[in-house]
Chains A and B, each alone.
Chain A
């Protein structure tokens, strides 16, 4: 019986150690929480904003970024997320000044700056739409580990795409992400816990 207790104690310790290692990995690698390592998600990008101006990741330093990749032909996921972001901005009140939502298209062939501007304005004009050349978009998506793929041919094609909402801190470091079905309240709570 005594042996059994010792075995249970050692087993528990092992489980605890494994959990600690996994948690440490999650914090440093998955969430990019270790300031000494390069950010796991995010990085330099060079794109065109919805007024046609060239911008980079440096343009938005000093603001918390909400970064979402999508496209304007998207009838379902993108309006859901952008509406949640718009509602969150309103709920944040004056704190919204500290936040810059970026909607980056993964369909640059159809999404020109003018198309992007009109699209984001339907939700909240504080959201900035970003587009660019296919190469610029590919580089930005790679930095954020975003997957996208054109499905179907002709003018009716749709896009598969990652639907996570990334949060970057004012220094451009990855702070976390929210899943596609997040609510405005969850976005506000997450941001307030980070501010």
Chain B
């Protein structure tokens, strides 16, 4: 398994590098990415874009991954120079709208990572939507200071 895992990760990386968009129903999940984790930090954050091309609103209500013990949906706000991170019960995607999960805003927080996230790793993440149901996406790991997907 120790040998197999890096090989699997590499294969995943090669197969998903070109196609990072996933569809479920009327939802398009685009460019899921995370930053490499610095040092032994056991937390990470996943960012992505959810486009709702349907006539009805939907809501991201949960996420899970085999590489972390717990996954939470968070928002991040800065008020008067103080950063506050708070769990949210879901992230709404109205009909025809796009929800952006990006640094400084909503993110999917990974807690108690089983291993550090290293640049170029790819890992699976299952998203659960209120109406569309569950969908698995592949998350691409960028550099420790990445500000968007693909860097």
| B83 close to A180 (CB less than 8 A) | yes
A72 at the interface (CB under 8 A from B): yes
Give A83 to B37 CA distance when docked, in angstroms.
12
Give A180 to B45 CA distance when docked, in angstroms.
18
Given A79-B145, A83-B145, A156-B70, the answer on whether A72 and B83 have CB atoms closer than 8 Å is no
16 A-B residue pairs with CB within 8 Å = A72-B41, A73-B42, A80-B103, A80-B104, A83-B144, A83-B145, A122-B38, A123-B38, A123-B145, A155-B112, A161-B83, A162-B81, A163-B81, A164-B81, A179-B81, A180-B81
A121 at the interface (CB under 8 A from B): yes
Chain A count of residues within 8 A CB distance of the other chain: 34
B111 at the interface (CB under 8 A from A): yes
Given A76-B76, A160-B84, the answer on whether A181 and B104 have CB atoms closer than 8 Å is yes
B60 at the interface (CB under 8 A from A): no
Q: Which 5 pairs between the two chains have the least Cβ-Cβ distance?
A: A83-B145, A118-B39, A122-B38, A75-B45, A119-B39
A115 at the interface (CB under 8 A from B): yes
Give A187 to B42 CA distance when docked, in angstroms.
29
Q: A80-B104, A83-B145, A160-B85 are in contact. List 15 more A-B contacts (CB 8 A).
A: A72-B39, A72-B41, A73-B42, A74-B83, A75-B35, A75-B45, A75-B110, A76-B83, A76-B85, A79-B38, A83-B144, A87-B145, A117-B39, A122-B144, A151-B85
Within 8 A of B (CB), among A64-91: 72-77, 79-80, 82-84, 86-87
Chain B residues whose CB sits within 8 angstroms of the CB of A160 once the complex forms: 82-85
Chain A residues whose CB sits within 8 angstroms of the CB of B110 once the complex forms: 75
Give A43 to B82 CA distance when docked, in angstroms.
21
A147 at the interface (CB under 8 A from B): yes
Q: How far apart are B68's CB and chain A's nearest CB, in angstroms?
A: 11
Given A77-B83, A180-B83, the answer on whether A115 and B76 have CB atoms closer than 8 Å is no
Within 8 A of A (CB), among B32-81: 35-45, 70, 72, 76, 78, 81
Give A72 to B82 CA distance when docked, in angstroms.
16
Chain A residues whose CB sits within 8 angstroms of the CB of B40 once the complex forms: 115, 118-119
Within 8 A of A (CB), among B95-151: 103-104, 107, 109-112, 144-145, 147
| B82 close to A163 (CB less than 8 A) | yes
Chain A residues whose CB sits within 8 angstroms of the CB of B147 once the complex forms: 80
| B76 close to A77 (CB less than 8 A) | yes
